[in-house]
Amino acid sequence: MSIVTRYGYDNFFVLVGIGIAIGVVAYLLRSHTAVAILLGGIAAVTIAFAFWFFRDPERTVPPHGDGAVFSPADGRVVQIAEVVESEYLGEAAIRISIFLSPLDVHVNRYPVSGIVEYVRYHPGTYLVAWHPKSSELNERSSIGVRTMRGRVFFRQITGILARRIVFDTKVGDTVQAGERFGMMKFGSRMDVFLPTGSRITVGVGDRVRAAETIIAELP
């Protein structure tokens, strides 16, 4: 297993290259102690951030029933609301919104097992991820999965810092809860839409971990 996610190789190697270049300059200016120390520190922080942000830790999915819905992202639950979801479900639903800070793992995992029925990418704006309209206006991907207990819909949503969404999901894919499917780069948000009869097992303010935290049970 790679220490760094394959979804972030492009940005990772750019950041590491920048860090190395700054380090080389620091070495060339080693006779200027203060400048060399400053540049060396910047180089170290840049490389350390690249490894930290694009890390891809292993996760073990705990034992669960066929109605379990796992968090698709690491982060904090910022909203649980009843809404009308018209893009895929076409009916009233419960939306669980998870905010990811730049310090969270940004690799995303499927929240449920089933067959992918819907995939769509939407270009858009870059409102802050916790803005109520970010789910509708920001750059985002939309994925719908049919499970044994019904349909589940989820969105990767960019924030003011996140300017790129990566996913490799296709209509017709058979997916398993906890499998990786993409990432959101830098600060971002994940919305999960569930049938109204679902039992929600998290609350606003709770910390969740992708593939490990059960956020709901489908009816």
Please check whether residue 115 is in contact with residue 144, taking contact to mean a CB–CB distance below 8 angstroms.
Answer: no
Instruction: Give the Cα separation of 185 and 100 in Å (integer).
Output: 10
The residue annotated as part of the active site, out of 113, 135, 188, 198, is 188
Active site residue 188: yes
Instruction: Give the Cα separation of 185 and 101 in Å (integer).
Output: 10
Q: How far is CA 156 from CA 22, 28, 140, 164, 186, in A?
A: 33, 43, 5, 10, 12
Please give the structure tokens belonging to residue 155. 């969105």
Q: Measured between alpha carbons, how far apart are the two ends of the chain, in Å?
A: 35
Instruction: Give the Cα separation of 191 and 98 in Å (integer).
Output: 6
Instruction: Give the Cα separation of 212 and 73 in Å (integer).
Output: 10
Active site residues: 188
